[in-house]
Structure 1
């Protein structure tokens, strides 16, 4: 065995940090955060932290159709975008320091957004992405690979799809 190759220990399924963002669009290089959710999972105990952001730009109708957040609602009830991003990143970093595995569906998208808004953000802990796992385990299955489609295929109930907290829990 090559001594330079190490195998990571499997994640502790009782110490997870589920994460999800809802945004202004599908391109992580231009999207702004609208909602963010972190869900610390300790066995049966779950502690959720969610944020509503004012993204500082109009939320396109297409994005509102997905997550239900309008520009007016975000401006009236949302916190400043930079604060929401900073607190989300602080929460992710805290989770890794606590030995948690970050669980995020389509991690490349959400983590790219965090990196875009804070260039100092780095992946410093384990990440489990059900999207990547599903493609690796069942590469020839037909159909969509959205979170909703994967949940339906694997019998996972999703209450409130496209709400950041619900999507984080489903992942």
Structure 2
């Protein structure tokens, strides 16, 4: 074996070891909501899931339907399959669900865990706004600011020129992970974690993320993506998108 080959193999093993250490030495709280719609400023959760993982070890798996106190729009029910009857009969009250979610997010922040999601800006922003309406304070006012990792933001950053959709289903296919019934919050959490693990294997720089700084790093990735998208949109005379903050969207002009 020549020196170049030896160094190349050694470097590859070091990258593999780094990724494995990152996955097994850290704890990841994966979070997902199914909701009444797509507007983070007005819509409500109808189910939540929290999955706490460290390597292959599942520390916690929590899932429940949530009664939003309003009728679930037909369009939303068609996507996630959750009915008014189901949440009335089996769902937690909105207040109880918020309490459980906030407790785990605070636990993650205090223990230096990552909080992970697929397009988690949506889930965190919706949660933040529901908390402000229901309790008068959001995540920031509660002192909850964990290190966020978003598989959508990472995928856009590390594979920017790939064509096609970037839904959770598409990412599951791209990273060759097993997928169950998507738009079930718990299954979405499991698939998201599998995707993150595979992404870190392909892009070892992900393993440089730390809970104390990951939100700032990914915010930079997101802002860069918005700039690139808007540059493309202007060239095509398409509508640009607003950069309203990340991971919590700011309510501008509502």
Measured in 2, the distance between the counterparts of 1:101 and 1:95 equals 7
Of the three residues 190, 199, 203, the one matched with 1:169 is: 190
Corresponding position: 1:83 with 2:93: no
Q: Does 1:121 align with 2:139?
A: yes
Q: Which runs of 4+ in 1 moved over 3 A?
A: none
Structure 1 length as normaliser, TM-score?
0.89
Asked if structure 2 preserves the Cα contact closer than 8 Å seen for 1:59 and 1:70, the reply is yes
5+ unaligned residues in a row in structure 1: which ranges? Answer: 1-9
- d(CA) in 2 for partners of 1:157, 1:24: 27
Count of residues in Structure 1 that have an aligned counterpart in Structure 2: 162
Higher normalized strand content (fraction of residues): 1
Q: CA deviation at 1:86?
A: 2.1
- Separation (CA, whole Å) in 2 of partners of 1:104 and 1:113: 13
Q: How far off is 1:18 after superposition?
A: 0.7
By percentage of residues, which structure has more helix? 2
Instruction: Give distance in 1, aligned partners of 2:89 and 2:128.
Output: 26
Give the alignment partner of residue 83 of structure 2, picking from 55, 70, 75. 70
Q: Which of 144, 147, 163 is the aligned partner of 2:165?
A: 144
Contact 2:129 2:138 in 1 (8 A): no
Relative contact order (C-alpha < 8 Å, sep 6+): which is higher? 1
2:23 to 1, 13, 29: 13
How big is the alpha-carbon RMSD for the aligned residues of Structure 1 and Structure 2?
1.6
2:174 pairs with 1:153: yes
**Aligned-partner Cα distance in 1 for 2:161–2:153:** 13
> Structure 2 length as normaliser, TM-score?
0.61
Equivalent-residue separation in structure 2 for 1:86 and 1:117 (angstroms): 12
Deviation, structure 1 residue 31:
1.3
Contact kept? 1:89, 1:114, Cα under 8 Å: no
Structure possessing the higher radius of gyration over alpha carbons = 2
Which residue does the alignment assign to 1:6? Answer: none
